[in-house]
Amino acid sequence: MSAAAPIQLRLRLRYPRASQDALALDATLPGRGITAIFGPSGAGKTSLLRCIAGLERAEGVVRIGDETWQDARRRLPTHRRALGYVFQEASLFPHLSAGGNLHYAERRAGADPMRRAEVLQLMGLDGLLGRYPHQLSGGERQRVAIARALLCRPRLLLMDEPLTALDPARRREILPYLEALHHSLDIPILYVTHSVDEVARLADNVLLLENGRLAAQGHASDMLPRLTQAGDEQAGVLIQASLAEREPRWGLALLRFDGGELWAPDGQEALQAKLRLRVLARDVSLSLEPQGRSSILNRLPARIEAIETSESAPQALVRLRLGSTPLLARITRRSVAELGLAPGQRVWAQIKSVAVVR
């Protein structure tokens, strides 16, 4: 697919006897890449996906590029929409083996041996095909489910919190597969999640939902800071950088971005490669002067934009800017008071750990 036409959504969903709409949304989503649909429980994320799929009857318009799935005149039933849907719990057919489940999709969408081989390899399913769902682990089931959704040649892939039902070990196991998916697929993916971590690692764009309404929309790196709160362990930022230099002696690479330069572990990427970095708030400390000798490699000048505190918690979240790049730092309220930190002030940010996400 060349120029990816955007996805248009105008949806109103109201349940019988309800006093207001469960979902009221007007948005245009990019026609490629992973768009994360983020929000607290009950925000309507799953409802949105189900409306797009036609599993719920909403009023409005659903247009995927040049295909109209729903408008004022007609509504295509789910089985006529060229979509792939991965449900929260794998939902494999229990009476079919893994291979049988995949075959089910192929039989109805048209089999393509090359595509099948590709998908099998992508999801690492060789050797699993003969097993039945109850003989597979949660992670394996989910991978089969994703493969099955891919094999029905969708124009749009919908994923409803595919990792939420898995334990952390399984989640870690599957994430690389999802990242690989992102690289090799050129169809848009709508990915519902309430995990900031997943957004950080996978999303290109973010749609923020609150109470069934669109609260915000934008690129992941811009949106990420908004998604976090002071007490959130995963609070952090994404920085788009390019690899400027390598220092093989120390196994480090210098990454340049708008706002400065950072040292990070060398992942053997090529020079000038575009990388996404993640910096967690808890790995950032602040000082009023550049320190003397210290073990922390990355020390950058930054300006404080805002300080968020709450009476009961000992910690505060400081929102900073490195040039135009946002940065978050979590420090104690006591330090805020003792250092006399205030918005507008210039400080030095000491970044202890930088993770290259992609």
Partner 1 sequence: MSLSAQDWAAIALSLRLATVSTVVLLLLGTPLAWWLARSRHWLKGPVAALVAMPLVLPPTVLGFYLLLLMGPNGPLGRLTETLGLGLLPFSFGGLVVASVIYSLPFVVQPIQNAFEAIGTRPLEVAATLRAGPWDRFVSIALPLARPGFISAAILGFAHTLGEFGVVLMIGGNIPGATRVVSVQLYDHVEALDYANAHRLAALLLGFSFLVLLAVYGLRRRRPALSL
356 Cβ neighbours under 8 A, 6+ residues apart: 255, 264, 265, 267, 269, 275, 276, 277, 278
Task: By CB under 8 A, tell whether 57 contacts partner 1.
Answer: no
What's the rounded Cα separation, in Å, for the pair 355 and 358? 9
Residue with Cβ nearer partner 1 (73 or 134): 134
Please give the structure tokens belonging to residue 140: 């394996």
| Residue nearer to partner 1 on the CB measure, 131 or 213 | 131
Q: How many CB atoms lie within 10 A of CB 300?
A: 20
Q: Is 202 near partner 1 (CB under 8 A)?
A: no
Window 129 to 158, contacts with partner 1 (CB under 8 A) = 132-134, 148-149, 152
* Residue 105 in the binding site for partner 1 (CB under 8 A): yes
Chain positions 212 to 251 lying near partner 1, rule: CB under 8 A, are none
Size of the site for partner 1 (CB under 8 A): 25
Give the closest residue to 163 by CA, choosing from 174, 149, 147, 177: 174
Among 108, 172, 274, 346, which residue interacts with partner 1 (rule: CB under 8 A)? 108
Nearer to partner 1, 33 or 133 (CB): 133
Applying CB under 8 A, the span of 24-32, 36-44, 101-109, 174-182 interacting with partner 1 comes to 101-109
Beta-strand relationship, 274-280 and 346-351: unpaired
Closest to partner 1 by CB, 81 vs 201, is 81
* Whole-Å CA distances, 239 to 46, 145, 221, 324: 29, 32, 7, 11
Pairing of β 34-38 and β 298-309: unpaired
Q: Name the CA dihedral angle for 249, 250, 256, 257, rounded to a multiple of 10 degrees.
A: 160
- Segment near partner 1 (CB under 8 A); pick from 16-24, 72-80, 172-180, 281-289: 72-80
CB-wise, 48 or 53, nearer to partner 1?
Answer: 53
- Work out whether 98 is an interface residue with partner 1 (CB under 8 A): no
As a whole number of angstroms, the distance between CA 146 and CA 272 comes to: 33
Nearby residues of 336 by Cβ (< 8 Å), 6 or more positions away: 307, 309, 316, 318
- Report the residue from 83, 227, 235, 349 that binds partner 1 according to the rule CB under 8 A: 83
The two structure tokens encoding residue 17: 């006897």
Closest separation between CB of residue 261 and partner 1, Å? 47
Pick 104 or 263: Cβ nearer partner 1: 104
Least CB distance from residue 183 to partner 1, whole Å? 24
Question: How many other β-carbons are positioned within 10 Å of the β-carbon of residue 340?
Answer: 8
The answer to the question of residue 187 lying near partner 1 (CB under 8 A) is no
Binding residue (CB under 8 A) for partner 1 from 7, 51, 53, 159: 53
Q: What x/- string results for residues 113 through 132 when contact with partner 1 is judged by CB under 8 A? A: -------------------x
Is 17 one of the binding residues for partner 1 (CB under 8 A)? no
Part of the chain binding partner 1 (CB under 8 A), chosen from 11-19, 65-73, 80-88, 187-195 = 80-88
Site string for partner 1, 253-292 (x = CB under 8 A): ----------------------------------------
Q: Cα(19)–Cα(147) distance, rounded to whole angstroms?
A: 40
Among the listed ranges 79-87, 190-198, 213-221, 326-334, the one in contact with partner 1 (CB under 8 A) is 79-87
Give whole-number Cα distances, 99 to 6, 108, 142, 170, in Å.
34, 15, 14, 21
Q: Are the beta carbons of 209 and 45 closer than 8 angstroms? A: yes
Query: 306, exposed or middle or buried, with CB in 10 Å at 0-12, 13-18, 19+?
Result: exposed
By CB under 8 A, name the binding residues for partner 1. 53-55, 77-80, 83-85, 87, 91, 93-95, 104-105, 108-109, 132-134, 148-149, 152
